[in-house]
Structure 1
Amino acid sequence: MLLGYARTSTLDQQAGLEAQHRELAAAGVEKLFSEQVSSVDVARREALESALDYLRDGDTLIVTKLDRLARSVAHLLQIVDRIEAKGASLRIMAMNLDTSTPTGKLMLTMLGAIGQFEREVMLERQREGIAKAKAEGKYRGRKPTAREKGDEVRKLHAEGRTPKQIVEKLGISRASVFRLLKEEA
């Protein structure tokens, strides 16, 4: 059976998701798993987990592009191991790559490593750009919202409110409440 997996990082990318659906349907996918969630948020990639659980001996999981499936080489190899443990294979359409062959497995590992390298170089450039902007006084980061509520946290705590009640009332994290109370001491 041919199974398809489609993913976009955000809900704003509806056209990209629909394009993946069309490509997978044209490839003959019989069952499609689809989601709109960041690849980094592994805990919430429920459709990918469902697809991997659904795979049976002889099945093929098809994705349009490698970056729709995995966030790193290590993650990619984990996924491929799970697929192969079920006697299934992976096909990546954009690369014309199929892990049912030894060459396909080799190419997948090499291309995954190159993709991870490119991402790491991009992140390094981003960090350098942020450091430069900070040095020039053009970058301040996000505004610390919890610190502004320090007086309210201390007041509510003095009134006998529990940290949980403070979190619910002020809409800040539990860690922020404890940090602000600790700074007071």
Structure 2
Amino acid sequence: MLIGYARTSTVEQEAGLEAQERELDKLGVDKLFSEQVSSVGEREVLQECIRFCREGDTLVVTKLDRLARSVANLCDIQKQLESKGVELRIADMGLDTATPQGKLMLNVFGAVAQFEREVMLERQREGIAKAKKEGKYKGRKPTSDDVKDQVRELLAQGKKPAEIISLTGIGKTTFYKVKKEFQS
């Protein structure tokens, strides 16, 4: 069975998610899992997808960065799949771990992807430091105590996250940070 997994980081990237889903459909996936969550967040649907996979299945993703956040994370996911007898296919790379060459290339591409990400983050940090030095970077405004109190109150009332986000006008990430503070 071909099992597809699609992911975008934010709900604003709806078109990107739909494009991945269309591509996976063209590749003939039998079951599709998709989610909109940052790669650093909890990817519950990915874990559900991996649990769903059975021996002989192939997990298909459109791009490596939609699946893993680092080489270590990629290796962990690959180990989970391998222990279940599940292969991995990355469409844009033409990579399939059903072959020895595919397994080798997966590790090489994973290392390159992590290197590129680290270089990008380093440049970003340098740019922020320069902007701060020039007085052009102030950072994000902190969430006001009034909004935090409103979130806590709505949580206490048993409101669902989507409803609280809608009522307060805060972002999903901010909501979960405030929720975490509240639960601490």
The TM-score bracket by the shorter chain reads: 0.7 to 0.9
Q: Which amino acid aligns with 2:131?
A: A
Amino acid at match of 2:23: E
Letter paired with 1:77: C
Aligned-partner Cα distance in 2 for 1:145–1:34: 30
Q: Distance between the aligned counterparts of 1:119 and 1:39, measured in 2?
A: 13
Equivalent in the alignment of 1:14: 14
Going from structure 1 to structure 2, the CA distance change for 1:175 and 1:93 (only over 3 Å counts) comes to: closer
Alignment of 1:129-140 (within 5 A): 129-140=127-138
Q: Any idea what SS the aligned residue of 2:12 has?
A: coil
SS of the counterpart of 1:111? helix
CA distance in 2, matches of 1:56, 1:176: 38
Identity of aligned residues (%): 64
Structure 1: runs of 5 or more not aligned: 153-164, 178-185
For 1:62 and 1:10, locate their aligned partners in 2 and report how far apart those are by CA, in whole Å: 21
Q: Mark the structure with the bigger radius of gyration.
A: 1
User: Structure 2 CA distance, aligned partners of 1:13 and 1:174?
Assistant: 24
- Counterpart mapping for 1:35-184 below 5 A: 35-41=35-41, 43=42, 45-144=43-142, 168=152
CA distance in 1 between partners of 2:3 and 2:129 (Å): 44
Q: TM-score, normalising length from structure 1?
A: 0.77
CA RMSD, 1 decimal: 2.6
> Which letter maps to 1:64?
T
Taking the aligned partners of 2:88 and 2:24, their CA distance within structure 1 comes to 13
Q: Distance in 1 between matches of 2:25 and 2:34?
A: 12
Q: Deviating runs (4+, > 3 A) in structure 1?
A: 143-146, 171-177
C-alpha distance in 1 between matches for 2:60 and 2:103: 14
TM-score scaled to structure 2, two decimals? Answer: 0.78
Alpha-carbon distance, 1:145 to partner: 5.2
